[in-house]
Amino acid sequence: MNTLNTLGPHTPRIALIGECMIELQHRADGSLRQSFGGDTLNTAVYLSRELGGAGAVDYVTALGDDSFSDAMCQGWAEENIGLGMVQRLPGRLPGLYCIQTDAAGERRFLYWRNEAAVRDCFTTPAAAPILAALPDYDVLYFSGITLAVLGVKGREKLLETLIEARQRDARIVFDNNYRPRLWASVEEARAAYRSVLPYVDLALLTVDDEQALFHFSDCAAVFGAYEQIGTPEVVLKRGAEACLIRCEGESFEVPAQKVERVVDTTAAGDSFSAAYLAARLKGASPVEAAEAGHRLASRVIQVPGALIPRA
């Protein structure tokens, strides 16, 4: 059974696959603050911070040759994220999204991403050596949003990579992050998820997304489905409620950390996933890892934007 605590004593190499976008935060006074974000990129940044020197984090994506893409790469390098798997496609641009936040800290997203460079991430000639190198990583991390933005051909390449990586004893980590607007239909999304789930070792799931996609009646139904698939470790993220974990036949419930005021819930789940994964890679138990996830997420939701300043 592939679990994260059987990687051995060496420093793990982790590749996160996905999309980073230009982020605009819409403030109450009508002004906009520009930064960058995306689910797997948020996780990559927080994972790099949490691991420190205990792991090497690379980001796998495609960008343009514009100034925004330059700024993204500079920022990632400052976060000690490796850029060797980042393609720069001439004449292309990153996607763009705007966050509007209400008084309770809940978010509304507006997206401009149909022509984003990442859609060709795995289909360009330059992708061949990247795809060939991915199975040699210790951990591959991707999300439901990754599946959506890669498109049909990109998903086929990803699946081939996951199968080969598993054969080389890599660990596969998946965050479900289901966004209906990114899919032509719920049936297409279900088929894409079901194609990759048999190869996942750690599933980091948001309960609401699981229910929206698969219509599970409750958390027990979610765990039952993943037990049938054979996923060794499943974490159910439930916002301000306790997270639930099943790992190698054992069950755990870990309370979330309460905060006085929620400012912005952007990247709460991404940061939880990063801290959980970092802790597991460093030898922590599932309960200790969830506690680390809650700690980081509680800090993130008290600051505007996806990425909080480094401590």
Catalytic residues: 270
The CA distance from 83 to 269, in Å, is 24
Q: Which residues pair with 251 in a beta bridge?
A: 246
- Tokens read off for 90: 């001439």
The CA distance from 15 to 87, in Å, is 14
Q: Is 30 helix (H, G, I), strand (E, B) or coil?
A: coil
* CA end-to-end distance (rounded Å), the chain: 36
The CA distance from 141 to 203, in Å, is 10
**Residue 230: CB partners within 8 Å, gap ≥ 6?**
198
The CA distance from 173 to 41, in Å, is 14
The answer to whether 51 and 96 are in contact (CB under 8 A) is no
Identity (one letter) of the amino acid at 226? Y
The CA distance from 292 to 309, in Å, is 18
The CA distance from 38 to 22, in Å, is 9
